[in-house]
Amino acid sequence: MRYAIWNNKGGVGKTFLSFILGTEYAHRHPDRNVVLVDMCPQANLSEIVLGGNGGGGKALSHLLSLGRRRQTIGGYFDYRIQMPSNLVGLESEYLITVGETNKNLPRNLYLICGDPSLEFQGQVINQISSQSAPPGIWRNVRLWLNNLITSCSKKLGDESVTVIIDCNPSFSSYTEIAVSTADRLIMPCSSDGSSARAIDNVSGLLYGFNTPEDYKQSNFAWKAAEHNMALPLINAVILNRSTQYAGEASRAFTAMFKEIKDRVNRFKKSSPTKFVKGADLFFEMPDTHQIAIACSHTGRPLHKIEATSYKIHNKTIKVNDDQLNRYRGATEKLLEIID
């Protein structure tokens, strides 16, 4: 199964959630292969996976310095831009075994590395997609990542690889390519008004819900239907709290989460086929506190983070047992939907 982690809003924890889901699922299922795909130009997920903000940054910089030979999603797209409708023949070479670089991670975890060049390539992808020839060019371009993952899965000898795709907030052409590859969509939200509005953006941009008539034929959902492409089903909406404390702050978060749930449920009522049938839809995640900082800086997965102090950039942060237990408990529940 392939999961896209996306919302049309930044700062909702997509990258950290992708890291946690991928690493913890791989840890709990050593008999399965897990591939993390970094489709964000910032490549933050890749930096964490390759070793964190220290060694991971150096490893990422080295990969990006290799020009057309770079083992990144941008390196692969360089070739596909030259041959949009044909496989490169080197697809599986873009799969990175992360345990060789970051010893903290499970051996069954792999990475398709992010690349800042996605931003430049996005403009070229739009130009290629708008061409009238060859037939089906729009669809062929949207299948680039699918082609890559399918080839990498065959290399691993397992066509049912679990894939977690970290998507950029903007619904650019490379984000369209990312969601076109996914079977399921997981939407992280924060407790603010813009997260509620982003729910409407997702339903409109990805599924064509309430799209104005003048824009329907340029809408992604309309084009996907025209090219017989299936869209990912909404699997989960993650409600990220910024505090667990009682009082006015907690009541405000509850009110905002109710607004997010109401908007999701309105969309579900109008378009039930866009959702995974019978699945739990809403998951509440506690404040990551210092956990996200410790994981991101050290490149360690959640199961290797301890309740202790960590020195990061000449500052000391402390992770305590209460934070770890709450977040691990919530993560266990969320992992139940991953296959």
State in Å, rounded, how far the first CA of the chain is from the last one: 6
pTM: 0.95
User: Quick one: which H or E segment has residue 190?
Assistant: strand 184-190
What 3-state class would DSSP assign to 232?
A: coil
- Mean per-residue pLDDT, 37-61: 95
Mean of the pLDDT values across residues 259-265?
Answer: 95
Mapped onto helix, strand or coil, the DSSP state of residue 184 is strand
Q: What average pLDDT does the segment 54-79 reach?
A: 94
Between 67 and 51, whose confidence is greater?
Answer: 51
**What is the rounded distance in angstroms from the CA atom of residue 51 to the CA atom of residue 223?**
39
pLDDT for the residue numbered 194? 84
pLDDT in tens, 154-189: 999 877 799 999 999 999 999 999 999 999 999 999
Write down the pLDDT at residue 134: 84
Per-residue confidence at 48, pLDDT binned at 50, 70, 90?
very high
Q: What is the pLDDT of residue 2?
A: 98
Contact status, residue 114 vs residue 72, Cβ threshold 8 Å: yes
Say if strands 2-5 and 109-112 run parallel, antiparallel, or are unpaired. Answer: unpaired
Residue 215 — pLDDT band, cuts 50, 70, 90? confident
Please give the pLDDT value at position 289: 78
Q: Is the pLDDT of residue 248 over 70?
A: no
- Average pLDDT, integer, range 291-301: 95
Query: How much is the pLDDT for 135?
Result: 84
Query: What topology does CATH give the domain 5-335?
Result: Rossmann fold (3.40.50)
The mean pLDDT of 40-48, rounded to a whole number, is 98
pLDDT confidence band for 249 (50 / 70 / 90): low
pLDDT at 242: 62
pLDDT at 100 (0 to 100)? 93
For the segment 17-25, the average pLDDT, to the nearest whole number, is 98
Does position 250 have pLDDT exceeding 70, yes or no?
no
Residue position matching structure tokens 């969509």: 185
Q: In the chain, where are the structural domains located?
A: 5-335
Cα atoms found within 13 Å of the Cα of residue 85, Cβ hemisphere only: 10
**193 or 60, higher pLDDT:** 60
- Most distant CA atoms of the chain, gap in Å: 61
Q: What is the mean pLDDT of the chain?
A: 93
For residue 34, give the 3-state DSSP assignment: strand
pLDDT, tens digit (0-9, with 9 covering 90-100), for 98-153 = 999 999 999 999 999 999 999 999 999 999 998 877 889 999 999 999 999 999 99
Is residue 280 over pLDDT 70?
yes
As a whole-number percent, the residues of the chain with pLDDT over 70 amount to 97
* pLDDT for 256: 86
State yes or no: pLDDT of 243 exceeds 90: no
Residue 39 banded pLDDT, cuts 50, 70, 90: very high
Q: Is the dihedral of CA 104, 107, 110, 113 positive or negative?
A: positive
Q: What is the pLDDT of residues 80-97, one digit of tens each?
A: 999 999 999 999 999 999
Percentage above 90 pLDDT, the chain: 80
pLDDT at 278: 86
Looking at residue 84, its pLDDT comes to: 95
